[in-house]
Structure 1
Amino acid sequence: MLGAIAYAAAGETPVSAEALRTLQLVAGLFCGAVSFTIFAQGWIMFTDKLSRQRLYSALLFSILGILDVLHAAGIYGIKLFGLETGFRLSNAFLIISHMLCAAGMLLIFSTPDRQISGKHKISVFAGTVLFTVAGIAWLYTYQQVLPFSLFEFQEHPAGKIVLWPGILLLYAAGIFAMLYRNRKERPTPTSALTVIRALLFMMMGFTLLMAGDPAELSLIHTLGKWYMVVSYYFVLKGVYYLTIDEPFRSQRDVEARMKHMAYHDELTGLPNLRRMKETLGKFLSAGKEDAVRTGIAVINIDRFKAINDSLGYSAGDKLLMEVGERLSGLCTEGEKVYRMGEDEFAVIFPGPRGNAEMESCAEELLVSVNPSVMIDDTEYHISLRMGLSIFPDDGASVDQLIQYADMAVHHAKEHDLIFIRYNEGMKKRTQSRVELENDMRKALERDEFFLEFQPQFSLASGKMVGMEALVRWNHPKRGLLPPNEFIPLAEDSGLIVPLGEWVLKTACQHNRDWQLQGYEPVTVSVNLSMRQFRQYNLADKVDAILKEVGLAAKYLELEVTESMTFDIDTALNQLQSLKRLGVHISIDDFGTGYSSLNYLKNLPIDRLKIDRSFVKEVMLDGNDAAIVSTITTMAHHLKLKVTAEGVESEEQLEFLKGQNCHEGQGYLFSKPVPARVLESEFLNRLAG
């Protein structure tokens, strides 16, 4: 149609005045209809994601729609609301419409977009309605005195000189604002490009409208009106992108990300347990004839908690990502790695394969993982353990297979195995372990724990100089349980923290009671677990216990392990806080960990305790003898005391004396004894 009008404008095809009037009327009504469509789109669609640009665009075009309808009515002189319309008033509506459109588009798209509330939407809508009603009432009341002649440019050429370039500048400023707002986005959003096209057509249409006298029927004026129709179409399209397409795409992207997060591990990017269950279910097709033999292997990083606690969570995350990448790289076609939990991964081995072949594939995957890992420019060696369960021999459902594979890997850890397949005996042991954990939660309340004390003696004088507090559990059904049965369970379950606090308080209370009874004061040693040592308020808790019990800090020695000093900054801060209380610090089982001598000289410690594994073979193994000698010599140079653990023979004692070891502890002197025995047999002797 634009081509036909342009052709007519060139004077080659005469067009009657009635035809031009009809074309302008149709164009005006079309613009009005599109304006109300823009309003409906921006106001109704995705109201939960309503933005400032969408709201104000919708309201702007609702006003423009009313003006376009009034302009179209003026072409035929239709009387609206008692308002006498005609070319003069129609011309005024047209100019006002362009002024509002140009200024409104500039203001709307030159400032940052943002989400708005429902209350804001209602208040703006109410204000727009009041403004529109007031405007119509004003026109109706003052139509005889309004200076509409200002818009008749033949009588007032100055108005044309001011309005024409002014409105064109506003349109140009709107285009520049949109380009500037989206300058960093590549590619430029489709909605922005579409609105820019609309503004360009508006500029062209307004130019054609101003080229002649809008109060007269002319081909140029009619062409300008249809350019406005095209511009409104682009605005409609742009608002569609803003209100429907982009929110829909955004919502779809959010849903895709949420779905990905629901089925993938955030840290490693591997599929998670939920995805693994779905995939495993497809392989099993439980109860159907197409079920195939399938294996599920659970892989555990040995001592991950110690690494995480000692080196920090950042190092632990790096280790997990590295292990996940290595496992994924070693999987063959059809095999898939999943992240199960904190330190566990899983691999599905699809059939058809025999049990022996599946076990061989699983074990081969495990041993193929390179154990050397670089973390923060330091090389560490890790060990992995694997438990395997196979459908349908070991379990008939997804949950059973995963549970049994997890049982198997924990059994491998307990028995120092690299790989093991599930068997029925593991289920019974796991049930027993769960029962024991439940019993442990009640044991503290029921006073089932008690302490034994192992004396420590000066090798030079033979005098008792201290004692180590050791926790014991008198189970109501199982009797006296050795520490290696319940201490690892307490560490895994987190119960080691309240248990450790109970041990610390009880040991201090016993020592204070003996002092009040008149016995010579000695130091009591208490082991700290890794979880206790990582507590940010550990020093405050120790201080509170000492004050509550009334024990001087110098009569308490806290034992830490070498692994607790991996993260030297954290360890240093924690140990300094404890030392400020006045307590003694010793490193237990020294020589079995990974202490750096450079770090050791900076730690605020008082004593090294030589691990019993070196003392045991000191008379038979020259290497152990050299290690003990080296540790003792080093301690003397660092001005630290040395205590040898596990002293069981006179030969060991004489060797340790020859190395100038300060103190000894072991069965040669005494096994761990109850508090009353320590009091009667050792404290009394010390007093005598």
Structure 2
Amino acid sequence: MRIRAEEQTTIIQGVIGLAAMVGVIRLSAWNDFPPGADALIQTMHLLAGLMCLAVSFAIFAQGWILFIDKLSKQRLYTAVLFTMIGILDILYAASHGDVTLLGFKPGGSLAAWFLVISHTLGALGMLRIFAAEDQQVNGHQKIAMFTGAGLLSLVVLLLLNRYQASLPSLFDLEFGMFILRAGIPLLYVITAMAILYRHRAERPPAIMTVTRALLFMAMGHVLLTFPTGQGGDLAQAAGQWYMGISYYIVLKGVYRLTIEEPMRGKQLAEAQMKHMAYHDDLTGLPNLRQMKEQLGEFLVFSRACTGVAVINIDRFKAINDSLGYSAGDKLLTELGSRLSALEGQQQRVYRMGEDEFAVIFPELPDDAAAEERAKQLLASVDPAVLIDDTEYHISLSMGLSVFPNDGDAVNQMIQYADMAVHHAKENGVDFMRYDAAMKQRTQSKVELENDMRKALEREEFFLEFQPQISLDTGKMVGMEALVRWNHPKRGLLPPSEFIPLAEESGLIVPLGEWVLKTACLHNKKWQLDGFEPVCVSVNLSMRQFRQYNLAERVDAILREVGMDPRYLELEVTESMTYDIETALDQLHRLKRLGIHISIDDFGTGYSSLYYLKSLPIDRLKIDRAFVKEVMYDGNDAAIVSTITTMAHHLKLKVTAEGVENEEQLEFLKLQRCHEGQGYLFSKPVPAGVLESEFLSRLAG
């Protein structure tokens, strides 16, 4: 166990006190004192007694006056205890000094009784106070304690006064001598050990101070009970000084234990709360709140340009989804450390939240210098990150706004830098400087999101269906449901304009559920109308796929519509299967419903073939990017050929997307591709057109 500083102090002072006690005892054995020594010794004894009285009063005042609104039980009980001890010490000093006080006649016998009562009360009282849990007490308890102690003291003093003549001399009793000279010092030592044992876990410094006081009390009592005589008087005077020192240590210990340490603890808690309020828990970097305050100071006092850069980790969501949140946390911590290492007097690094960091570049000569500094910082970040013994390469995007040209307020500067970084990501570049056009585009995006929230209620969304054609028979064997938005002001909007926004805002979940239900309603209606049943395919978004109750929601829709599950196919992307354990669980739960599952845009991700064979899927859909160049690019042709061959071996269906001409069709037939989907067969059409031009042919 490591010895703390306060424990070292207790040991050192205890050894010094013990050595001094032994020295006094040895000196007391020397009886040849110079003339006038008696008067000096008596004066020392009297001064020590006055010191004990003064310190006892200080302990009383500490419990009676200081911080009475939050009075500690330990402080109150110590004040009561030393009030009683102080009274007994006055009577002991008077009796020892041949002074009649309060009717008590001087004499060694009575002084010994006062000494025994005082020190027994002190040892037992200290044991009761400091070996117990501290609590808060109120003013009524304080008055009751002092009143009770006063009455008890009065009763004891009256009894002693009445029977003082018949009190036996403790020095004449063998048991009395043992109690006087050995029992009470032993009681002090036992009390100290009990208090230390009670606080063995936390070992607060103030408790060590109290323990130190008890040791000095024990040594002081040994000296006070030294045999009388000129040497004995010296030992007793020294013992009284020891008691005065011990009282002062008690005063200091109680103050530390009940006032200083709680106050320091409160200050520490406040400092920790302030640190938590102004720093990020994960990275330890200053947070957005601190950034705003410091940026405000820079903008007020700066006479030059100040740059604000927001840094975003590209595809951070995919990292979280594929590697797990713990890996994402490690990445954020590592990036925070690297940015901090690059921090200097010319820049400050902050974490804004999620996957965004911010940097302030103060006191720059112009906009060009701000842009140059920002680009240098971005280029200085090492992209290689080691996570769980595997090296990954990350890319960062940065947006920059510059005071005073771009804005003159704190929130403006941060908002504009944030706009710039999001536009950089959308445009596929790593750095962009804010310009006014971004604000207009962002406002338009916000308005579109707001309109989208109302669009479902207003029934502005509708479905189109693109047929899926068997390459062997030329007949429609399925169809893919695609959502469209007829905006009241902007007209017909393509999915590329609102689907990413729906993903970002979370609206994709209710929208995706609407698409699923509406597609099933259409398909069920066609079946009821007598058309040959075909399967309808519906795309799932990442947010939908991660819903814990997705299978239950799909099952509820199928039951509500009354459609057989085998006529529904859900399309997922490769990125959804990065977290293979979660993906397997979700897919198996969906598969148990009896629906079909396909992998959409296959070939554009990085699916492991080992995991692919474990997935409960029915179909692979070759991405249109490979089909488009299949007649001109040998690599694309090889990829399509490989996918179809692999699918046949895995006993999976293959659908090629984006089939636009006969040459592509013939190539796909040669590769034994099962189905095709694209403009060669039909563009996406409304439900009525699909019914009249495709379903009717099946009926015929």
User: Which TM-score applies when normalising by structure 2?
Assistant: 0.86
1:9-34 C-alpha deviation (Å, 9 max, x unpaired): 96440139985885475245224313
- 1:258 corresponding residue in structure 2: 273
Q: 2:523 & 2:515 partners in 1: Cα distance?
A: 12
1:260 is displaced (CA, Å) by: 2.3
- CA, structure 1 residues 349+20, in 2 after alignment: closer, same or farther (shift >3 Å)? closer
- 2:543 corresponding residue in structure 1: 531
- 1:627 corresponding residue in structure 2: 639
- 1:64 corresponding residue in structure 2: 82
Residues matched between the structures, number = 667
1:237-278 C-alpha deviation (Å, 9 max, x unpaired): 112222333233323332332232222222112222222223
Q: 2:167 & 2:588 partners in 1: Cα distance?
A: 86
1:527-550 C-alpha deviation (Å, 9 max, x unpaired): 221122222222222222222222
Match of 2:225, as an amino acid? Answer: M
- 1:139 corresponding residue in structure 2: 156
SS at match of 1:653: helix
Percent of matched pairs sharing the same residue: 61
Q: Is the 8 A contact 2:659 2:677 kept in 1?
A: yes
SS at match of 1:670: coil
- Aligned pair 1:375/2:395, yes or no? no
SS at match of 1:15: helix
Select 2:59's aligned residue among 20, 35, 59. 35
Select 1:15's aligned residue among 39, 47, 68. 39
1:105-143 C-alpha deviation (Å, 9 max, x unpaired): 3455456x5x74x5x667975774575366346537866
- 1:175 corresponding residue in structure 2: 192
Unaligned runs of 5+ residues in structure 1 are none
- CA, structure 1 residues 261+410, in 2 after alignment: closer, same or farther (shift >3 Å)? same
Q: 1:86 & 1:20 partners in 2: Cα distance?
A: 19
- 2:11 corresponding residue in structure 1: none
Q: Which moved more, 1:277-286 or 1:200-209?
A: 277-286
Select 2:527's aligned residue among 489, 492, 515. 515
- 1:26 corresponding residue in structure 2: 50
1:194-238 C-alpha deviation (Å, 9 max, x unpaired): 223211110011212333489xx9554443233211101011111
Match of 1:527, as an amino acid? Answer: N
1:487 is displaced (CA, Å) by: 1.1
1:291 is displaced (CA, Å) by: 1.7
Q: 2:169 & 2:273 partners in 1: Cα distance?
A: 60
- Aligned pair 1:200/2:226, yes or no? no
Q: 1:95 & 1:537 partners in 2: Cα distance?
A: 78
Q: 2:489 & 2:183 partners in 1: Cα distance?
A: 95
Match of 1:99, as an amino acid? Answer: T
Equivalences for residues 362-511 of structure 1 within 5 A: 362-511=374-523
Match of 1:63, as an amino acid? Answer: L
Equivalences for residues 649-660 of structure 1 within 5 A: 649-660=661-672
Q: Is the 8 A contact 1:31 1:228 kept in 2?
A: no
- 1:241 corresponding residue in structure 2: 256
Equivalences for residues 178-189 of structure 1 within 5 A: 189=204
SS at match of 2:225: helix
1:400 is displaced (CA, Å) by: 1.8
Unaligned runs of 5+ residues in structure 2 are 1-19
- 1:154 corresponding residue in structure 2: 171
SS at match of 2:645: helix
Match of 1:580, as an amino acid? Answer: R
1:293 is displaced (CA, Å) by: 1.3
Q: 2:649 & 2:74 partners in 1: Cα distance?
A: 80
Q: 2:168 & 2:424 partners in 1: Cα distance?
A: 92
- 1:55 corresponding residue in structure 2: 73
Equivalences for residues 611-650 of structure 1 within 5 A: 611-650=623-662
RMSD between aligned residues = 3.3
Select 2:356's aligned residue among 320, 344, 347. 344
Q: Is the 8 A contact 2:661 2:680 kept in 1?
A: yes
Q: 1:457 & 1:377 partners in 2: Cα distance?
A: 47
Q: 1:91 & 1:453 partners in 2: Cα distance?
A: 109
- 2:291 corresponding residue in structure 1: 276
- 1:592 corresponding residue in structure 2: 604
Match of 2:568, as an amino acid? Answer: L
Q: 2:168 & 2:542 partners in 1: Cα distance?
A: 86
1:429 is displaced (CA, Å) by: 0.8
Q: Which moved more, 1:611-620 or 1:251-260?
A: 251-260
Q: Is the 8 A contact 1:644 1:665 kept in 2?
A: yes
Q: 2:527 & 2:662 partners in 1: Cα distance?
A: 32
Q: Which moved more, 1:433-442 or 1:344-353?
A: 344-353
- 2:4 corresponding residue in structure 1: none
Q: Which moved more, 1:175-184 or 1:475-484?
A: 175-184
Select 1:313's aligned residue among 302, 325, 339. 325
Select 1:44's aligned residue among 45, 53, 67. 67
- CA, structure 1 residues 24+277, in 2 after alignment: closer, same or farther (shift >3 Å)? closer
Match of 1:532, as an amino acid? Answer: Q
Q: 2:100 & 2:563 partners in 1: Cα distance?
A: 104
Q: 1:547 & 1:609 partners in 2: Cα distance?
A: 28
Q: 1:356 & 1:25 partners in 2: Cα distance?
A: 80
Q: 2:356 & 2:127 partners in 1: Cα distance?
A: 57
Select 2:119's aligned residue among 98, 108, 129. 98
Q: Is the 8 A contact 1:71 1:90 kept in 2?
A: no
Q: Which moved more, 1:32-41 or 1:653-662?
A: 32-41
Q: Which moved more, 1:522-531 or 1:96-105?
A: 96-105
Q: Is the 8 A contact 1:28 1:69 kept in 2?
A: no
